[in-house]
Amino acid sequence: MSPMEKIQIGVDVGGTFTDVVVQELNTGRMVLAKSFSTPDDPMRGIDDAIQRALAELRGDQRDVIAVRHGTTIATNAALERRGAKTALLTTKGFRDVLYVGRQTRPSLYNLRMRHPDPLVPRHLTFEVDERLAWNGVIERAVDRSEVEAIAERLKVEGIETIAISFLHAYENGENERAAKAVLEECLPGVPISLSSEICPQLGEFERTSTTAMNAFVTPPISAYVAAVQRDIEKFDDGCRLHIMQSNGGAMGPRIASSKSAHTLLSGPAGGLIGAYWFSKAFDLPNIITIDVGGTSADVGVISRGEVQSTREGKIAGLPIRIPLLDIHTVGAGGGSIAWIDPGGALKVGPKSAGSVPGPLCYGRGGTQATVTDANVSLGYIGPEAVLGGHARIDAQAAKDGVEALARKLCLSGPEGAAGILEIANTVMMRAIRVLTVERGLDPKDFVLLAFGGAGPLHAPALAKALSIDTIVVPPFAGVLSAVGMLAADVRHDFTRSQLVRTSDVTTEAITADFDSLTAEALDLMRVEGFDVGKVEMRPSVEMRYAGQAYEISIPVDIEDISRDPAVRLPELLAEAHRQRYGFAFNDEPAELVQIAVTASAQIHDFNLPKLPRRKESAAKRFRKAWFDGADVSTEIIEHETLSPGRTVSGPAIIEARDATLIVPPGAVGHMNEFGVFTIRLP
């Protein structure tokens, strides 16, 4: 590597492995490294992987000018209820908003079903005698003495973070800001989340739930971001840190520390953005993504060249209303534990062995068979495999554990292992159907892009079950989430609620609202360090027909809709409704619920280098692997020996440092000049 070659680093901290990709900006050359995640001190696992990757690249850490980071800290804090002790201030009469919630139930006929408890218990929810009218007019201002009295109670309770969500604050945040100012004087250093800043949208319950979630995860995220910032001080003086968001964009550390809820799906978002880059680069407009890691499997969809996204989701059963990539996660990863229920049925997951103790084959003290152990038992992962390039597996421990479980079911070892994989694959297949079949999309019209350490292992079975004939495995498949972070732009979303009949929308009003949002977006992008001329703005609207309880997000051209919004907006809604549902209510009045602007800017160029010609081994290597109910002699190929243009006929197993690929019997695989491996199924 030449002197002064600038470097960028992508880091994805998962439940089992920490993945790192180091890239030279000029040449595009990339080097990967994996380490076991270290939940007790995440920086230990991160530093280990970064230093090994830099050593292989022969890079100097002082030449690192950018670090993109994805983390599960916020997700784990929410799932495990290990966030900060949180208080909620709300309008008088609305103390129980988090408990009342909505009448929707995830299981309609389950009489014992219980909603998850709110993050803020009732005794830490405090009413403030303030009031805004529906249009944002202040009817009762905040009484300073009342908030001061609440602050004294918060001190006694040892509150670590505060959420404020007043009625109709999406129209006017003045009362929330007034309460915050008093609390900051009385409780210096305690972070405060305002609903008017975190989620300025209609929907009292969802807005309050999102603000409470943001407050709950802010202290752990702030502490984590501060630790990462201290750690990168050893890099170039101008090294910039960006944290991955759930919307597929990145943000600076200061914003991440205040809008922490936006990091809830930062890891999986990196993988889907990586897939989106491949979709554009290799003309693959319709992609189903399957990312199988150590703890879970994440499914996403790219349809007609666009990543599917949403503005509402759930974490730990609690609603959050922020922009999210539409990712469906299930507990079926490599570390998912196989077990037998009281009725004698074999089950897999959602509990995972994680990185400690990990699967049996990791040799780190695991005692229960997992999906990875089943893959080892059936020969898909060989006894000579090296985890993440530096940790060898214990194949015999995996086989012994799977056989012990299988005996309890009166099955042979291979039958038990095959059963474990079939159950795990079924769970993944259901997740794929949620985002495709249940939304009117036919999986046969898509290619399956498989990544994560175990994604390419499970892809052939999933593709066969869904009648998909093409599987695409990108280079660096096992660390694609980290690669995707290098391809991500800085991105921020801005929204403003409207709730007005489209017949009442005027050119002046909608133009003024979009101008205001655009100015707000550009101000924040300046804070992020970008010139206005380099910022791309994407406006959109959310509309519905009167009486509907759901909206459709529609990209718009402001100049187009501003000519005659009362006519053009209903036309756009009819087109979008017809495309999604097959029909439109042409005689029903349309409603404009929300306008939005997305601002984005590129941090650095991202490109894949072409593969050089590689020296291929003349000697072939084989081992037994399980296909169609029998052991089959299968060629084993090292990924690093594959040259561009190489064709591989199944059955074959391709072993890379970060992932293992299966080419089943009858299938044919082909490597292109960039290292993208395409498998055509019979």
What is the set of domains in the chain, with CATH numbers?
Answer: 78-222 (3.40.50), 270-332+440-487 (3.30.420), 336-423 (no CATH), 491-601 (3.30.1490), 621-680 (no CATH)
Averaged pLDDT for residues 121-128: 96
Nearest residue to 41 via CA among 256, 230, 296, 227: 227
Kindly report, residue by residue over 283-341, the tens digit of the pLDDT.
Answer: 999 999 999 988 889 999 999 999 988 888 888 789 999 999 999 988 888 999 999 99
Q: Does the pLDDT value for residue 387 go beyond 70? A: no
Q: Does the pLDDT value for residue 3 go beyond 60? A: no
Global pTM reads: 0.88
Question: What is the SS3 assignment for 111?
Answer: coil
Averaged pLDDT for residues 622-636: 95
Question: What is the SS3 assignment for 288?
Answer: strand
Kindly report, residue by residue over 542-593, the tens digit of the pLDDT.
Answer: 999 998 988 899 999 999 999 999 999 999 999 999 988 889 998 899 999 9
Kindly report, residue by residue over 58-73, the tens digit of the pLDDT.
Answer: 888 889 999 999 988 8
CA–CA separation, 283 and 338 (whole Å): 39
Residues 293, 295, 301: CA angle, nearest 5 degrees? 55
Q: Quick one: DSSP state of residue 672?
A: -
User: Phi and psi (nearest 5°) for 482?
Assistant: -70, -40
Residues 67, 73, 79: CA angle, nearest 5 degrees? 155
Kindly report, residue by residue over 219-278, the tens digit of the pLDDT.
Answer: 999 999 999 999 888 888 889 999 999 999 999 999 999 999 999 988 889 999 999 999
Average pLDDT, the chain: 91
Question: What is the SS3 assignment for 630?
Answer: strand
Averaged pLDDT for residues 2-26: 84
Nearest residue to 480 via CA among 450, 451, 449: 451
Averaged pLDDT for residues 445-472: 96
Confidence of residue 200 (pLDDT cuts 50, 70, 90): very high
CA–CA separation, 3 and 56 (whole Å): 15
Supply the pLDDT for residue 31. 92
Q: Which strand (E) or helix (H) includes residue 302?
A: strand 297-303
Nearest residue to 22 via CA among 490, 391, 643, 476: 476
The DSSP-derived string for 160-181 is: -EEEEE-TTTTT--HHHHHHHH
> What is the DSSP pairing of strand 391-392 with strand 447-451?
unpaired
User: Phi and psi (nearest 5°) for 594?
Assistant: -160, 145
Look up residue 617 and give its two tokens.
């081994």
Supply the pLDDT for residue 389. 52
Q: Does the pLDDT value for residue 142 go beyond 90? A: yes
Return left, alpha or beta for 445; rule: phi > 0 is left, psi -120 to 50 is alpha, else beta: alpha
> How many distinct helices (H) and strands (E) make up the chain?
17, 37
- How far from 314 is each of 22, 264, 318, 472, CA to CA, in Å? 33, 10, 5, 30
575-608: burial string, b at 16+ Cβ within 10 Å, e else = ebbeeeeeebbeeeebbbbbbbbbbbbebeebeb
The DSSP-derived string for 323-357 is: -EE--EEES-STTEEEEE-TTS-EEEEEEE-TTTT
CA–CA separation, 529 and 633 (whole Å): 57
Averaged pLDDT for residues 141-147: 97
Confidence of residue 2 (pLDDT cuts 50, 70, 90): very low
Look up residue 153 and give its two tokens.
């109670």
